[in-house]
Structure 1
Amino acid sequence: SKQAIPADKISDAIDRALKTVRTRIEGFGVSESVVQKVGNDRISVEIPGYDDPQRAENLVRQQAFLQFLITDKTHALDKVLARFDQILRQQGKAVAVAAPAPTPGKPVAGQAPATGTGLQNLLTGADTAKGKGQVAAANRDTTSIDSLGAKTGGPFETYITAGGMDGQYFVPFSAVPTIETALQLPAIKDAIPPGKTVLWGTDSAQIGAQWYRALYVTDAKPIITGASINDARPSQSPTDGTVVEFTLNNEGGRRFRTETAKNIGNYMAIVLDDRVMGTPPVIQSAIGTRGQITMGGKDLSAAQDLALVLRAGALPVPLKVAEAVVIGPRLGKDSINKGFHAGIVALILIVLIMTVYYRFSGMLAVCGLAIYVLYTLAALAGFDAVLTMPGLAGLVLSIGIAVDANVLVFERMREELDRGKTVRTAIDEGFRHAMPAIVDSNVSTILTASVLYQWGSGPVRGFAVTLIAGVVASMVAAIFVVRTFFLLWLNRSRGAQTLSI
């Protein structure tokens, strides 16, 4: 998954990465975000109103390259450990080998160790949870934990200890940097047996005061990749805790079923960005289009993020964060104040115009307009929308639509009163005749805004969300709320003969 990209294809790769990042951000539930290309090799992401920058950064830069790999059952790594150490000696990269110092506590912050399983059980092959039984680890050239550090070989032979399943090994956490650095050497990579790859796992285990990290050897060719995933959703499992359940497309499902049928009884590693997720399960039968990824003790938010990036697809190129800036609310305080003052002035003008021109009926319309504003703000809060400039524009436009609906009703009521109709009849006829025009215009606006939301991005979608919420609220306010106010007034006035309009 990590290959050099020719210079002439970098721009195209960034364009594809831009689409993936935009899909992730929009699926994150953040409105009015701005994702755009800067130059030929940079992407700018702006997320207004979001207060967890680290989570957002992880969401953007995670490559999310998913693979399903069969673990090695030929013990290929056992046969080349001495060769690895010989390469280190030949290159003058000898490492002082000593028994690793105990590392109390969790090995890595936020990383859950293996629960209820000591390293000794893993080394002897206990796998009762998967029904595999005892693995024939006795035939392997394994290293005893008690003698670890007593050997005089290099770091590979000293620190790497075979686990209890095919392709599984363990390394003391204090020795992980040494082994990890050595595995990156070109000569070591070339010495890895053909068709195999060495990957670190996310699971860990403890014996005594010492923590160990899992290392896996798998086939290099995946059964399938994340490109075959059709959908992914976070979930809670009573046995595995937080998981991500995924569904494959038809082609991926057929291939997955065929390959897993060939490997019944073997272990399958689920690899995300070159890290084995949890302990590889045993393939007990052919698997179709559904499966799950165990999150290894991580919380539901981590599962939500993983499901999101899997749905959006893998990044075609790894992204590195060049700069991350958190802008506080003080920077836009002046604009906020000006916008607030402008809004107050506009509302005062609307109240004055409606009251002066339509008198008492205008006052009822102003009360309905207040209810409309509350409905709109409640809807935006439910969508977690942020009122940026495009959003404010949508809100202002929807206020105009709400006022226009009242104007249509009131003008029709005036016509009915001029014809000599009673107040009750004029009110009923005014709403009945104005309703088709109100519904037609508002539905047309909603359809247009829906197109903007579906095909637009960033500020355009924010404008569309605010406009849709405002238009729906304006219809409710004009058709039901204001009419209710009129009926309440009629009941209290006991059949008024005149209407101030």
Structure 2
Amino acid sequence: MVRYPRWKIILVIAVVLLGTALAAVNLISSERLQTLPAWVGDRQVNLGLDLRGGSHILLQVDTAALIHERMDSVVDAARDVLRGARIPYEGLGAGATEAAVTIRDETRVDEARRLIAESDRDLLVTVGDGGRISLRLSEEGMRQRQAAAVEQSIEIIRRRIDATGVREPSIQRQGSDRVLVQLPGVDDPERIKALIGKTAKMTFHLVDDQGASGGQAPVGTTLLPMREARGGDGQRRLAVRKRVVVSGENLVDAQPTFQQGEPVVSFRFDTAGGKRFGDVTTQNVGKLLAIVLDGEVISAPRIREPILGGSGIITGSFSVPEARDLALLLRAGALPAPLSILEERTVGPALGADSIAAGKVASVVGLILVAVFMGVAYGLFGLFAVAALVINIVLIIAALSLLQATLTLPGIAGIVLTIGMAVDANVLIFEHIREESALGKPIISSIEAGFSRALTTIVDSNLTTLFAGLLLYFLGSGPVRGFGVTLSIGIVTSMFTALTVTHLIVATWLNRTRPTLLPI
């Protein structure tokens, strides 16, 4: 009689039953899932873009706009430095890639160059003729700023997409200035593109009292288009002061709501932003405060009284979806630079259905061929191995469901590969059993020796493959990661089924039938 510990029997059966229950959730239709608790639907396998269909968008960060914005901040910093040192200057301004200033007192040119260089370590400051100083970003500074902008863009894009409820989006860097976004199952790609493409940079400016004269903006102001009510001609422009009185970076929350039956967006600042907002509204009662989003005035209410609570409301003849999307954009934060769409592809669900059907056929054919081979080579023991293989496949699907991993077409290839590899451990065990039986040992001794002798070899060979699968997952991207996921899970489950499930089946058969010969 083969002694198999009761605790181990309970553990193996519990794992198999739990795995079967988790895998069975994937057989429930989407209509039926709507009637079940939310946690049940959340345990289904997520299908990747190549299986479920969806949108594939390649974005590029506008580094030119990023550098131009950086040079504008360099000009502001240089102005503060020169004014603080009381150095007379003229012609301070920024171009696309560099800024320049002319120092009137040529005896103080070196002092001005030193002070500006000390204010920003990323600047290359050079002196030309006539006291002209040129300011450019160093190559290292430009690379660091570009890399930081791409990483920040990825994080903000992820926040925006997560807020829409898209499951398992793939957002990753590609090259030095590009971001690849893959959205499985997206049924409204235009809305997603609109959310991703908006910079969502919000600033607050005071409106100039004099306004534009003859179409020209007064000194220190700029003409910005005014968002008109739906149906307007969109030709109105407003003269707003260039100086930002409060930045959207200080926003901590924004929510869509209603005021007098109209959709609006309520917002709330952090402590510093709330204090600044309170000071501005206190000092400018009766004036117009323009709320500017991506270069467009979306609202310009009159300050009727100081707003000291650090919160306010944005009105602008919004529709309900527009108010919801604006609140989402403001909560997620502004992109560091504009994004342009370089490539867009839509993968239809029909292609995914064909891929899934082909993967099912490949899996079934592979399982049948393995079953035939094992039955012919090892007889009844081969059928035991096939039963363990079926349990192995169930456990793979259960693990994918439990971990919420994304199944891709290469992932299906990994499952098919696992079907072929899973019986390797059983082959090792059965061959060792044959060797022990050929030496004339009793049946029980041969079986126990076969499992114990094969243990070290099985663990060593599977661990090396497991390491390869984990490297594919952590170092790879896209389809490579999908293959690494299913391969790694398949290795773990195949070791479990070979060393425990097969052993339990064989031990149960021995204890019930007590054979005199091994059918192997």
Give TM class, smaller chain: 0.5 to 0.7
Question: Corresponding residue for 1:182?
Answer: 237
Question: Corresponding residue for 1:327?
Answer: 347
String of CA shifts for 1:390-439, please: whole Å, max 9, x gaps.
21232223223311111121112222222323222222222222222222
Structure 1 residues 16 and 340, CA gap change in structure 2 (3 angstroms):
farther
Question: Corresponding residue for 1:480?
Answer: 500
TM-score by length of 1: 0.52
String of CA shifts for 1:35-72, please: whole Å, max 9, x gaps.
756xx98765444455564675467445476x8x8x89
Unpaired runs of 5+ residues, structure 1, are: 94-155, 161-170, 224-255, 285-296
Contact 1:31 1:386 in 2 (8 A): no
Structure 1 residues 261 and 337, CA gap change in structure 2 (3 angstroms):
closer
Question: Corresponding residue for 1:30?
Answer: 168
Contact 2:389 2:422 in 1 (8 A): yes
Structure 1 residues 491 and 63, CA gap change in structure 2 (3 angstroms):
farther
Match of 1:352 among 343, 348, 372: 372
Question: Corresponding residue for 1:138?
Answer: none
AA aligned opposite 2:366: A
Contact 2:197 2:340 in 1 (8 A): yes
1:321 CA drift (Å): 4.5
TM-score by length of 2: 0.51
> How does 1:368-387 map onto structure 2 within 5 Å?
368-387=388-407
Mean Cα deviation higher: 384-393 or 361-370: 384-393
Structure 1 residues 63 and 461, CA gap change in structure 2 (3 angstroms):
farther
CA distance in 2, matches of 1:383, 1:55: 29
Question: Corresponding residue for 2:259?
Answer: 206
Question: Corresponding residue for 2:488?
Answer: 468
CA distance in 1, matches of 2:452, 2:153: 48
AA aligned opposite 2:215: Q
Mean Cα deviation higher: 361-370 or 45-54: 45-54
String of CA shifts for 1:309-359, please: whole Å, max 9, x gaps.
67xxx6543224467553323235555554443333222211111110011
Task: Name the Cα RMSD after superposition.
Answer: 5.4
Mean Cα deviation higher: 28-37 or 395-404: 28-37
CA distance in 2, matches of 1:360, 1:398: 22
Richer in strand (by share): 2
> How does 1:186-335 map onto structure 2 within 5 Å?
188-189=239-240, 192=241, 194-196=243-245, 206-207=259-260, 211=262, 282=309, 315-321=335-341, 324-331=344-351
Match of 1:362 among 378, 382, 391: 382
Structure 1 residues 486 and 194, CA gap change in structure 2 (3 angstroms):
same
Match of 1:459 among 474, 479, 484: 479
Structure 1 residues 17 and 440, CA gap change in structure 2 (3 angstroms):
farther
Structure 1 residues 335 and 264, CA gap change in structure 2 (3 angstroms):
closer
CA distance in 2, matches of 1:432, 1:308: 59
Contact 1:13 1:316 in 2 (8 A): no
Structure 1 residues 330 and 500, CA gap change in structure 2 (3 angstroms):
same
Question: Corresponding residue for 2:422?
Answer: 402
AA aligned opposite 1:194: R
Structure 1 residues 418 and 197, CA gap change in structure 2 (3 angstroms):
same
String of CA shifts for 1:239-262, please: whole Å, max 9, x gaps.
xxxxxxxxxxxxxxxxx99x6898
Question: Corresponding residue for 1:91?
Answer: 215
Unpaired runs of 5+ residues, structure 2, are: 1-61, 69-95, 98-138, 218-223, 282-290, 299-306, 312-319
Mean Cα deviation higher: 476-485 or 380-389: 380-389
CA distance in 2, matches of 1:55, 1:5: 29
- The alignment partner of 2:339 has SS state of coil
Question: Corresponding residue for 2:25?
Answer: none
AA aligned opposite 2:392: Y
AA aligned opposite 1:342: A
Structure 1 residues 343 and 198, CA gap change in structure 2 (3 angstroms):
closer
AA aligned opposite 1:206: Q
AA aligned opposite 1:359: G
1:431 aligns with 2:451: yes
AA aligned opposite 1:318: P
CA distance in 1, matches of 2:352, 2:148: 33
CA distance in 2, matches of 1:261, 1:182: 28
Richer in helix (by share): 2
CA distance in 1, matches of 2:445, 2:486: 36
CA distance in 1, matches of 2:292, 2:449: 68
Structure 1 residues 176 and 52, CA gap change in structure 2 (3 angstroms):
closer
CA distance in 1, matches of 2:375, 2:393: 18
Structure 1 residues 393 and 282, CA gap change in structure 2 (3 angstroms):
same
AA aligned opposite 1:366: V
- The alignment partner of 2:366 has SS state of helix
CA distance in 1, matches of 2:416, 2:459: 19
Match of 2:463 among 443, 448, 466: 443
1:373 CA drift (Å): 0.6
Contact 1:36 1:45 in 2 (8 A): no
AA aligned opposite 2:259: Q
Identity %: 33
- The alignment partner of 1:326 has SS state of strand
- The alignment partner of 1:421 has SS state of coil
String of CA shifts for 1:78-108, please: whole Å, max 9, x gaps.
xx34x23x54xx3399xxxxxxxxxxxxxxx
1:376 CA drift (Å): 0.8
Structure 1 residues 265 and 18, CA gap change in structure 2 (3 angstroms):
closer
Aligned residues: 344
> How does 1:89-168 map onto structure 2 within 5 Å?
90-91=214-215
Contact 1:452 1:461 in 2 (8 A): yes
Question: Corresponding residue for 1:245?
Answer: none
CA distance in 2, matches of 1:370, 1:400: 12
Contact 1:172 1:213 in 2 (8 A): no
Mean Cα deviation higher: 192-201 or 445-454: 192-201
Structure 1 residues 264 and 355, CA gap change in structure 2 (3 angstroms):
same
- The alignment partner of 2:477 has SS state of coil
Contact 1:31 1:385 in 2 (8 A): no
Contact 2:246 2:277 in 1 (8 A): no
CA distance in 2, matches of 1:354, 1:379: 26
CA distance in 1, matches of 2:342, 2:417: 38
CA distance in 1, matches of 2:280, 2:437: 83
